[in-house]
């Protein structure tokens, strides 16, 4: 309880190369009761949201993932190309969709041109249906590819264990070896399984969205791209404060558990001497401290996200105002204005998606380093 | 390993009223090694995504949450009203934003009316800045309110424990009492802390979005509202199959762990008799079975979400086509068409948000029932 939460450790991207530290962490996680509040999933998620990764930590994790996976991936080039084609088609559709809005507005709706209307809608419907079919098709190959890579990695790990000298098995705890096959494989698995969908697709769509914005109006795109410093640097200011506040909350909550534990253990004494009032007083003192620290921790945690939302909103209003002005003076068409809006939302959304994959990649990288030891 | 994953149990909304079962589950979770693959967070998340809740389970969880929380909430009516005002203003802004797009396009951009342009942009900027300030302000009160309610609940729980007969403490394990203050409180905490932001706000915005769509064009809104059967009923068809496939994957993975464990334990024998080839054969047999079941499980899990995405996309294309047609024949303005599009996205997004809160509420409801025992 006196250490930082587990997720922070795992999430900081530093592999626990010190075996002793890892075992201690495992022992702590297995401690029967009182269970730590961070044993609860939702709590873990909270903490995870709060970890600010540096760009180099993220890049390092992706590099590790790539270096570890590529030798296996290489054996399935056909499947890999199917997945790549699928991702390409899906990204393409995500450009066609907002673009068709532009042509709809400028060429069909404004001009009351039914020929253009039917053509655009026809193209869009065909693209939508083809993309949907392709999506199901490439997900099938992606699932097969992920399963193949994972079982190959497991196989290599088993072979490696077979070839270890007999002395190794005397020295190393059995659970240590098994943990590679269970905990570490599971961490690696989740990153490989979701890589195409949760990392590659948002990344490609992000690039395509930026390209679309620049093509529509590069001056406006230059303003819109301020979203990167806002979403990437912004949270780093508040995050350390929020992490500190969350830590203090945990310390307070563990103090409460201590009071309750003592109270329950000494219940006979409390009852015999009528100490209920006194016991409640001690409890309340701790409880009020926990209440204050919790209010701070909750507020600061929310603010980490809120500051991003608010800055993105204000940037959006600036982009909207400039776009509307350009459209009113006739510098850009109404369709361009609307499509730019939708491309802006698209990139906001894809940045958020990519950010969510970073902790998965970092955990997987730690698992891979542990497997390679 | 032979039981269904923990999250499914906790997530099914059935409180573990059988104490023995709960203790068994706890014991299983605390089992040191080999750790179950579901001990990993990301794995848990996967499973959670797959649980299909019935509407009545969700409603029951919210009712329990309300019944349990209201007596405490009632003591903070001023704070509660601040939060309510904040939520109302934020929802209002989410209607003003798409509406201003309509007026911008119809009155300013189309007519080249700079007076209208400046007025609309001025209103939007003012609304944006006010909403941002209000958002920070009400988050502060919401954090205080949540902390107050949680410490009141903890206080009531402590008082209740104090008043239990002495015989109770002899009968009940100490850890059993402490678990109410740790695990259960944490489960309850996460639902209270995020209620305003993750449940009330998406709910209000959903209602506002539906209202906006109906106001813009009720015929088109009627088509767009088909999104509810699609997102709510759709996943229920594939989910049982995906859950079954994931279960089979876990069984296969646990069989592999068994093989590895045996192999490590009998390593001296393997080495002495040169059984490496044979051992690798046994391992490969299991590993290939796991590979096949994993490909199926991954694919089916992805399909649960994909079928929703694809159906929403196709519905969106239908709405877009009808809207574009209505705009071309002049039945609705271009601004209405664009605003309808953005309101449609808004409700898709808010449905997804609300769906994510349901497992949190159901876990909290289970924790509350356990605390009340």
A102 burial via Cβ count (<10 Å: 0-12, 13-18, 19+): buried
Question: By C-alpha distance, which of A295, A178, A19 is closest to B31?
Answer: A178
Residues of B in contact with A114 (CB under 8 A): 328
CA distance readout (Å), A67 to A60, A70, A365, B20, B104: 10, 6, 10, 47, 51
Structure token digits, residue B192: 């209270």
Of the pLDDT bands very low, low, confident and very high (cuts 50, 70, 90), residue B80 is very high
Which chain A positions have a beta carbon within 8 Å of B110's beta carbon?
334
Asked, as a colleague might, if the bond just before A34 is cis with ω within 30 of 0, I would say: yes
The four Cα atoms B277, B281, B283, B285 give a dihedral, to 10 degrees, of 170
H or E segment at A223?
A: helix A218-224
pLDDT of residue A243: 85
Closest alpha carbon to B32 in A81, A179, A201, A54: A179
- Whether A326 and A337 have beta carbons less than 8 Å apart is answered as yes
* Distance (Å) of CA B115 to CA A333, A334, A355: 19, 18, 41
> How many angstroms separate the Cα of B32 from the Cα of each of A4, A31, A179, A275, B190?
21, 9, 10, 39, 27
Q: CA of B63, closest CA in chain A: separation in Å?
A: 20
Distance of CA B209 to the CA centre of its chain: 20
CA A222 remoteness from chain centre = 26
From chain A, pick out residues whose CB is under 8 angstroms from the CB of B136. 303, 306, 310
Subunit contact B30:A26, Cβ cutoff 8 A: no
Report d(CA B285, CA A345) in Å as an integer: 48
- Cβ(B241)–Cβ(B300) below 8 Å: yes
Nearest residue, CB atoms, B302 vs list A166, A197, A337: A197
Whole-number Å distance between alpha carbons of A306 and A318: 18
pLDDT in the model for residue A59: 87
Amino acid B209: pLDDT = 94
| Best mutation target, A104, A245, A335, to test chain B (most B CBs within 10 A) | A104
| Residue from A22, A119, A151, A309 whose CB has the most chain B CBs within 10 Å, to mutate | A151
Q: Are B21 and A339 in contact (CB under 8 A)?
A: no
Q: What is the ipTM of this complex?
A: 0.76
Whether B306 and chain A come into contact, CB under 8 Å, resolves to: yes
Q: Do A143 and B296 touch (CB under 8 A)?
A: yes
Say if A34 is an interface residue toward chain B (CB within 8 Å). Answer: yes
Quick one: pLDDT at residue B165?
82
Chain A hits for B270, CB-CB cut-off 8 Å, are 162
Of A188, A122, A244, nearest in space to A369 by CA? A188
What is chain B's Cα-based Rg?
Answer: 27
| Nearest neighbour of B124 by CB, restricted to A117, A163, A317 | A317
B121 touches chain A (CB under 8 A): yes
Query: Which of B195, B207, B232 is closest to B360 using CA atoms?
Result: B195
The token duo for A242 is 């929020």
Interface of B with A in 228-257 (CB under 8 A): 253, 256-257
Residue A169: what pLDDT? 80
Partner A contacted by B272 (CB < 8 A) = no
Q: Which chain B residues have a beta carbon less than 8 Å from that of A30?
A: 30-32
Q: What is the pLDDT of residue B29?
A: 35
The tens digit of pLDDT for each residue in B126-168 reads 999 999 999 999 999 999 999 999 999 998 888 888 888 878 8
Helices A41-50 and A276-328: angle between axes, nearest 10 degrees: 50
At A208 the pLDDT is 95
DSSP state letters, B30-94? H--SSPPGGGSHHHHHHHHHHPPPPHHHHHHHHHHHHHHHHHHHGGGHHHHHHHHHHHHHHHHHH
pLDDT value at B14 more than 80 = no
Q: What average pLDDT does the segment B281-309 reach?
A: 89
Maximum alpha-carbon separation in chain B: 92
Looking at CA atoms only, how far is residue A42 from chain B in angstroms?
A: 6
**pLDDT tens, N- to C-terminus, chain A (373 residues):** 333 333 333 333 333 333 333 333 333 333 333 333 333 333 333 444 456 667 788 888 898 888 889 988 989 999 999 999 999 999 999 999 999 999 998 888 877 888 889 999 999 999 999 999 999 999 999 999 999 999 999 988 888 888 888 778 877 777 888 888 888 888 888 899 889 988 999 999 999 999 999 999 999 999 999 888 888 776 778 888 888 888 888 888 888 888 888 888 888 888 888 888 888 888 899 899 989 999 999 998 888 888 888 888 999 999 999 999 998 888 889 899 999 999 998 898 898 888 888 888 888 888 888 887 7
Q: What is the mean pLDDT of chain B?
A: 81
């Amino acid at each position: 309880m006196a250490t930082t939460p587990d997720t922070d450790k795992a999430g900081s991207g530093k592999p626990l190369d010190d075996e002793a530290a890892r075992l201690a962490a495992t022992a702590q996680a297995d401690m029967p009761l009182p269970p730590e509040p961070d044993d609860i999933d939702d709590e873990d998620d909270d903490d995870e949201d709060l970890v600010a990764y540096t760009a180099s930590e993220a890049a390092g994790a992706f590099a590790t993932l790539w270096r570890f996976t590529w030798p296996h991936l290489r054996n399935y080039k056909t499947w890999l190309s199917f997945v790549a084609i699928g991702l390409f088609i899906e990204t393409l559709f995500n450009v066609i969709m907002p673009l068709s809005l532009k042509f709809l507005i400028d060429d069909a709706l404004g001009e009351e041109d039914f020929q253009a209307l039917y053509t655009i809608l026809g193209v869009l419907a065909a693209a939508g249906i083809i993309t949907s079919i392709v999506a199901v098709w490439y997900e099938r190959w992606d699932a097969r590819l992920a399963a193949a890579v994972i079982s190959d990695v497991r196989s290599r790990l088993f072979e490696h264990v077979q070839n270890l000298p007999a002395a190794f098995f005397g020295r190393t705890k059995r659970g240590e070896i098994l943990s590679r096959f269970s905990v570490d494989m599971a961490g690696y698995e989740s990153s490989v399984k979701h890589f195409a969908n949760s990392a590659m697709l948002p990344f490609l769509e992000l690039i395509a969205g930026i390209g679309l914005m620049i093509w529509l109006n590069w001056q406006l795109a230059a303003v819109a791209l301020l979203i990167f410093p806002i979403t990437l640097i912004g949270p780093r200011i508040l995050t350390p404060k929020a992490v500190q506040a969350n830590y203090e909350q945990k310390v307070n909550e563990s103090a409460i558990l201590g009071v309750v534990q003592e109270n329950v253990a000494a219940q006979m004494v409390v009852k015999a001497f009528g100490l209920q009032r006194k016991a409640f007083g001690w409890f309340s003192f701790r409880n009020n401290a926990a209440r204050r620290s919790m209010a701070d921790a909750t507020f600061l945690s929310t603010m980490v996200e809120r500051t991003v939302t608010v800055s993105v909103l204000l940037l959006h209003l600036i982009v909207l105002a400039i776009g509307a002005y350009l459209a009113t003076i006739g510098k850009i068409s109404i369709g361009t204005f609307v499509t730019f809006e939708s491309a802006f939302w698209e990139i906001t959304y894809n940045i958020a998606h990519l950010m969510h994959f970073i902790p998965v990649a970092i955990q997987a990288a730690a698992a891979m380093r542990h497997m390679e030891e």
